[in-house]
Amino acid sequence: MKLQLNDNFARIKPSYLFSDVAKRVRAYSEAHPDKKILRLGIGDVTLPLTPTVIRAMHKATDEMANAATFRGYAPEYGYDFLREAIARHYEQLGISVDAGDVFVSDGAKSDLGNFVDLFADVPVLVPDPVYPVYVDSNLMAGREIEYIEGNEANGFLPSPAGLSDVPRLIYICSPNNPTGAVYSKRGLTEWVEFALRTGSLILYDAAYEAFIADGSPCSIYAIKGAVKCAVEFCSLSKTAGFTGTRCGWTVVPAALGAVKPMWERRQATKFNGVPYVVQRAAEAALSWEGTKECMENIAYYKENAARIADLLTRKGIPFTGGTASPYLWLKCPGGMGSWEFFDKLLNEAQVVGTPGAGFGRAGEGYFRLTAFGSRAATREAVERLDKLL
């Protein structure tokens, strides 16, 4: 083939983070077949879909079996029943979102990745440490990335103070992956005011909003003026255990002007919508009964997080997250590096976490533990760490 390839793809370094983790775990496991390994590195849910969601999926499946109720191509931006259920979800948070500004997606990752196609070669601001998709999708689009560091001094919640007035695409994830840090209303207001003043656009990742319970904003639209400077990406992956079921949404306010019709055009051209049975499952997850069940699952994960947080506190290990987030981001004790600490936990306690260095330069010296495991595994891991640290 003689066609010139898109050079920008070569700018992405293949991520060996999780494969390196897997490789080290496998090697250890083969050398010590008698040892039971406990995994607190996983970013995937483990509790099953809730009864209300399961009932809705069975019902929708039956509808697909009958010519009279069968559904072919879905409306391009999602069924009205789901767009309206999502608007009601915001209403319950005290936030007004027009159902017509809601675009049903197969998850936040795809939309976060595809959204940057709407822009020319514009400046991009990404926090570090960070969810790698923000970086990679912009590298693939040929853009240079400006990083803003999350660190102990700012509680892993960087602020725009000191930034130049250049308009940018600004990524914010709150509760944050990987640090678990959550912006306050005041913190987000600074960003919204900065975006409005500079003509920037905030790409707000709210995938973990369901873990917030302390009054911090669950949506960027809780901030005045955000409708004129922010797009919000949300997902049922962690809220309702949909990592293997695939449904989320993106809010593109009409107040953003040309951006909304461009996204409509992009989706109409390159996306064919979310399966009917999945849209019905998502509607069920957002119903009163479904929300109640999902909140029980989240409470389960948060209890896991609380047990890990309690241990870290007792040991005097600084950390963020773990209260309004399934993630705990801790400082490796004794000045250890991320991978050094990884090896220590694996070799001496058979507990697997994720080295912070995998999330960006500023992640070195930190370590991520997650609360998505079973209660029993979490309890046992905490006991082992209690002895080790």
Touching a copy of itself, residues 54-83 (CB under 8 A): 54, 57-58, 61-62, 64-67, 70-74
Binding mask 343-362 for a copy of itself (x = CB under 8 A): --------------------
* Token digits of residue 359: 């999330």
Range in contact with a copy of itself (rule: CB under 8 A) among 20-28, 46-54, 94-102, 378-386: 46-54
Nearest CA among 238, 186, 185, 230 for reference residue 210:
238
Q: Is 167 in the site for a copy of itself (CB under 8 A)?
A: yes
Q: Which of residues 265-284 bind a copy of itself (CB under 8 A)?
A: 265-266, 269-278
31 vs 65, beta carbon nearer a copy of itself: 65
Contacts with 226 (C-beta within 8 Å, 6 or more apart), sequence order: 188, 192, 202, 204, 220
Separation between Cα atoms, residue 197 and residue 213, nearest integer Å: 30
- The residues in 113-152 that bind a copy of itself, with binding defined as CB under 8 A, are 113-114, 117-122, 133, 136-137, 140
Applying CB under 8 A, the span of 52-60, 149-157, 174-182, 212-220 interacting with a copy of itself comes to 52-60
Token pair for residue 94? 């005290």
- Between the alpha carbon of residue 157 and those of residues 174, 230, 332, 337, 360, the distances in Å are 9, 18, 19, 22, 15
Closest CB to a copy of itself among residues 186, 265: 265
* Cβ neighbours of 387 (radius 10 Å): 8
For 44, other C-beta atoms within 10 Å of its C-beta total 11
Regarding 336 and contact with a copy of itself (CB under 8 A), the answer is no
Name residue, tokens 């917030």.
212
Q: Which of residues 197-236 bind a copy of itself (CB under 8 A)?
A: 198-201, 228-229
Q: Which is nearer to a copy of itself, 126 or 332 (CB)?
A: 126
Segment interacting with a copy of itself, rule: CB under 8 A, options 30-38, 162-170, 302-310, 363-371: 162-170
Closest-CA residue to 325 (of 171, 194, 131, 170): 131
Burial class (CB in 10 A: 0-12, 13-18, 19+), 187: buried
Q: Which is nearer to a copy of itself, 216 or 235 (CB)?
A: 235
Q: How far is the CB of 385 from a copy of itself (least distance, A)?
A: 24
Outline where 12-50 has alpha helix (H): 17-31
Strand partners, 331: 366
Among 27, 257, 314, 348, binds a copy of itself (CB under 8 A): 257
Tell me 90's DSSP state. H
Q: Which of 31, 153, 258, 376 binds a copy of itself (CB under 8 A)?
A: 258
**Residue 63 to residues 59, 67, 165, 206, 387, Cα–Cα distance (Å):** 6, 8, 54, 32, 55
Total Cβ atoms within 10 A of residue 379: 14
Query: In which residue are the tokens 């209660």 written?
Result: 375
Single out the segment in contact with a copy of itself by CB under 8 A; choices: 209-217, 254-262, 316-324, 342-350: 254-262
Q: How far is the CB of 83 from a copy of itself (least distance, A)?
A: 16
Q: Is 166 helix (H, G, I), strand (E, B) or coil?
A: coil
Q: Which of 1, 31, 161, 376 binds a copy of itself (CB under 8 A)?
A: 1
User: 208: buried, middle or exposed (CB in 10 Å: 19+, 13-18, 0-12)?
Assistant: buried
Q: Does 334 bind a copy of itself (CB under 8 A)?
A: no
Q: Which is nearer to a copy of itself, 110 or 151 (CB)?
A: 110
Residue 126 belongs to what H/E stretch?
strand 124-128
Residues 297-326 interacting with a copy of itself (rule: CB under 8 A): none
What gap in Å lies between CA 89 and CA 195, rounded to an integer?
26
- CB closer to a copy of itself, 114 vs 154: 114
Shortest Å, Cβ 165 to a copy of itself: 10
Shortest reach from residue 344's CB to a copy of itself, in Å: 28
Interacting stretch for a copy of itself, rule CB under 8 A, among 172-180, 182-190, 204-212, 252-260? 252-260
Q: Which is nearer to a copy of itself, 109 or 331 (CB)?
A: 109
